[in-house]
Amino acid sequence: MPSTIVHAGFALLLAAALLRDSLDRRALAVLLVVLVLPEADSFLGAVMPGAHRTVGHNFVFPAVAALALCVDTRIRERSWVRERLSPRWIAVAWVALFVHVFAHISLDWTHLDGVNAFWPLRDRFFQLAGEAFYSTADGFVQTFVDVRVDPETGTRTVDAGAGGTSESVHVNNPVQPRDPDLDVEEPVDRRFPVANAGWRLYLIGLGLFALGARRLQGDGVADGD
Amino acid sequence: MAPTLVSAAVGALLAAALLGRAFDRRAVAVVVAAALLPGLDAAASLVVPGATNALLHAVWVPLLAGGLLYWDTALRPASVLRGRFGHRGARIAWVALASYAVAGIGAALFAGEGASLLYPLEDARYVVRGRLVFSTREGVVQTFLVSGAEGGGALPLRSVGGAVADPVASWVNPDGRPGLDASGAREFRFVEAGWQLVVVAAAVATLAVRFRLRRRDGEVTR
């Protein structure tokens, strides 16, 4: 995984961009919990093979949560959430969903084997990798989604970076540093990355910069309501 | 240069995060334009050798602009900027400066082909590349900062060639050298990796949310 610190850095930037007046410590603490919680699927790896990047890393759960939140707060006559949370905390809940999808799952989607995007509906890892450019020689080129048309049969195959299933894919993490199916006679090296590339350090720096600048500006960062 | 789209996206996110009450369409446009401004040195490279990622990517422009801005808004008894554009103008100016440095120069330094931070005093083009890992067997492993001898420049960062010796190619100037070459194939890069696509998508979604909220608030107060 890109480390939790990278997720947190990008999440901080997004939270600062979305929350106008309510970026206080309690809101940030809630966002941090939402960011860290999905990584708990690393520990499920001991019970369920391939649980990491599957149970906590899919787009199905956040979609269901968003739908439930939307139906409850907008459509139902008596909202279960509104009776319990102030509008400010409903906003924080929406932001938590937003950063979960963009700062956590989407970033993991671009890394190693990707995420099990549609689990539990469909067990298939997807990885987002590629580039997009316009060149005077080739025109517009993008390699994120590979669409091939078989010249003989005319059938179209679309490859959006699909990989193995939770049976076959193991994404290394500090809890299970290597695939349990492999048997290696080596002492285990558990690595906790902070930033494995310049751009990851950049995302961490962006988050800290946004938070620091908000504090310097002296508004929007205050404790309590 | 780092893909223009990535600089714009980071600039837009900074605008949404830092503009506060000054947030509106025009202010966002100014801040995003500031993020793209350093990229214009690619055009200067048609005349000045090695100007790409150097002329406007050096620390001097933001230092000078920051100094002037501080002097005008904090030290002078009556600020010209506030007088003409009000507090809103001063705030937009500061955020635009941050966007220039962080989204414009920063993106090239951390994610692009590098930035010649001390140009024209020094020719070295710096990049921030490496890793920072805590390993149970090796302890803390850090390779972002290097000692002067390894790095090849005055700053403790890796350098990848010189501004003049190895010019950066861009869509404006495909071979990076002075002179207009109409025959060369040009490439305009949108995104170069998955994470950049994620940043761009997140920025678009954030702006959409913020403008929608703003419209709704406007309807409530009216």
- Summarize pLDDT for A47-93 with one digit per residue, the tens: 787 788 888 889 999 999 999 999 998 888 888 888 888 888 999 99
Q: Higher model confidence: residue B40 or residue A183?
A: B40
Q: Higher model confidence: residue A148 or residue B80?
A: B80
Q: Given phi > 0 = left and psi -120 to 50 = alpha, else beta, which region is A130?
A: left
Cα A36 off chain centre by? 10
Question: According to the model, what pLDDT value does residue A211 have?
Answer: 92
A86 domain residue, yes or no? yes
Interface confidence (ipTM) of the complex:
0.90
Decide if A222 touches B, using CB distance below 8 A: no
Q: In this model, does residue A43 exceed pLDDT 60?
A: yes
A163 domain residue, yes or no? no
The Cα of A193 is separated from the nearest Cα of chain B by a number of Å equal to 4
Q: In this model, does residue A169 exceed pLDDT 90?
A: no
Question: According to the model, what pLDDT value does residue B220 have?
Answer: 61
Cα B217 off chain centre by? 32
Interface test with A, best of B198, B200, B206 (most A CBs within 10 A): B198
A148 domain residue, yes or no? no
Interface test with A, best of B7, B10, B18 (most A CBs within 10 A): B18
Confidence bin at A171 (pLDDT 50/70/90): confident
For range A21-26, the mean pLDDT: 81
With vertex at residue A8, the alpha carbon angle to CA B112 and CA A63, rounded to the nearest 5 degrees, is 100
A206 domain residue, yes or no? yes
- Inter-chain CB proximity A193 and B14 less than 8 Å: no
B-chain residues within 8 Å CB-CB of A12?
A: none
Question: According to the model, what pLDDT value does residue B110 have?
Answer: 92
Q: How many CB atoms lie within 10 A of CB B217?
A: 11
Question: According to the model, what pLDDT value does residue A99 have?
Answer: 94
Phi, psi (degrees; rounded to nearest 5) at A121: -70, -40
With vertex at residue B109, the alpha carbon angle to CA B108 and CA B115, rounded to the nearest 5 degrees, is 80
Phi, psi (degrees; rounded to nearest 5) at B36: -85, -15
Total number of domains constituting chain A: 1
The Cα of B108 is separated from the nearest Cα of chain A by a number of Å equal to 10
A126 domain residue, yes or no? no
Decide if A139 touches B, using CB distance below 8 A: no
A151 domain residue, yes or no? no
Q: In this model, does residue A21 exceed pLDDT 90?
A: no
Q: In this model, does residue A225 exceed pLDDT 50?
A: no
Q: Which of B103, B122, B87, B118 is nearest to B1 (CA)?
A: B103
Q: Can you give the residue range of the structural domain that contains A89?
A: 1-115+194-225
A20 domain residue, yes or no? yes
- Inter-chain CB proximity B132 and A195 less than 8 Å: yes
For range A98-126, the mean pLDDT: 88
Q: In this model, does residue A183 exceed pLDDT 80?
A: no
Domain edges within chain B: 4-180+191-221
Question: According to the model, what pLDDT value does residue A220 have?
Answer: 40
Low-confidence ranges of chain B (pLDDT < 50): 222
